[in-house]
Amino acid sequence: MTGFWRAEAAALLVRVKVQPKSRRPGLEGLRPSANGPRLRVSVTEAPEDGRANRAVCAALAKALGLPASAVEIAQGPAARDKTMRVWGDPALLIPKLEALA
């Protein structure tokens, strides 16, 4: 991945940095990291029993206008740096995703 996302055949892989237990939930644009830029996502849930992971999936899905079931964690379920898989037509999803950055 050169940017914060990569297209697959029927999905996008999106690199995110999660901030659990945040006071203000939401997407906060791109943030630099050692491995390239990541989309920062803040959630109010604690990282216990997968609650923060579900909240990240729901927040990203809502921002893209998709059902929560269209977003899953591809890598890093126990880490703050995650790779999310967003199912759908990449040609339609890329403009929406770029607008979030």
Cα separation, 23 vs 43, in Å, equals 8
Q: Which two tokens stand for residue 14?
A: 């999106």
Strand-pairing partners, residue 73, are: 84
pLDDT at 9 over 70: yes
Q: What's the pTM value of the predicted model, to 2 decimals?
A: 0.90
CATH class of the structural domain 5-100: alpha beta
pLDDT tier for residue 2 given thresholds of 50, 70 and 90: low
Which parts of the chain are beta strand (E)? Answer: 5-7, 11-19, 26-31, 38-42, 71-75, 81-87
Span 37-75, pLDDT tens digits: 999 999 999 999 999 999 999 999 999 999 999 999 999
Q: Which two tokens stand for residue 2?
A: 């050169």
Query: Domains of the chain: which residue ranges?
Result: 5-100
Task: Indicate the DSSP class of residue 70.
Answer: G
